[in-house]
């Protein structure tokens, strides 16, 4: 069945007029949790039939802000790979001798300078939000109402597609 609106499609599913509904996994989980009469009666299938990458967006022409957003995402992914979390970032700040960790948390090379930020910019981001994995789990993953599996959003060394570039 084809519908003119997103809402008409999911309403048809919940009214029993069709047996399946397709969208990206986060949209399906959101519709199930917010719109279904009984969310436990509906299953988001694990098979992917298309790639629907989601991520931050910025206004065109704001190249400085784009660079900050892009590198924040990369650095939060790198923080996850290095084991830096919201819970341990203060300890890492005091004790880590790893140059990669030091670059990220502001005790080593100044990674903020080229972005127009101070040396502790990423320390504050991790302290406020956690690393990429923590953010994923809290907002769309197992700790969220959506409870989506991490799947391809895992780090490369955990079987996923996330491969942050070197932070230097």
Any idea what DSSP says for residue 160? Answer: S
Rounded to whole angstroms, how far apart are CA atoms 129 and 27?
Answer: 23
Rounded to whole angstroms, how far apart are CA atoms 37 and 75?
Answer: 40
Q: Model confidence over 90-115: pLDDT tens digits?
A: 999 999 999 999 999 999 989 899 99
Mutual angle of helices 121-129 and 63-82, in 10-degree steps = 70
pLDDT in the model for residue 85? 98
Domain ranges of the chain: 1-54, 63-158
Rounded to whole angstroms, how far apart are CA atoms 61 and 127?
Answer: 29
pLDDT in the model for residue 54? 80
Is 54 strand, coil or helix?
A: coil
pLDDT in the model for residue 117? 97
158: which 2 tokens? Answer: 């955990």
163 pLDDT band (50/70/90 cuts)?
Answer: very high
pLDDT in the model for residue 23? 87
* pTM as predicted: 0.86
């Amino acid at each position: 069945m084809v519908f003119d609106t997103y809402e008409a499609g999911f309403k048809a599913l919940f009214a029993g007029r069709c047996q399946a509904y397709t969208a990206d996994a986060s949209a399906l989980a959101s519709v199930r949790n917010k719109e279904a009469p009984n969310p436990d009666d509906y299953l988001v299938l694990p098979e992917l039939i298309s790639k629907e990458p989601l991520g931050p967006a910025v206004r065109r022409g704001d190249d400085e802000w784009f660079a900050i957003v892009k590198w924040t995402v990369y650095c939060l992914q790198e923080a996850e790979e290095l084991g830096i979390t919201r819970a341990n970032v203060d300890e890492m700040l005091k004790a880590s001798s790893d140059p990669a960790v030091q670059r990220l948390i502001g005790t080593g090379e100044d990674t903020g300078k080229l972005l127009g930020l101070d040396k502790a910019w990423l320390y504050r981001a991790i302290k406020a939000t956690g690393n990429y994995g923590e953010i994923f789990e809290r907002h769309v993953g197992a700790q969220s109402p959506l409870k989506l599996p991490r799947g391809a959003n895992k780090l490369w060394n955990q079987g996923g597609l996330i491969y942050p570039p070197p932070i230097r």
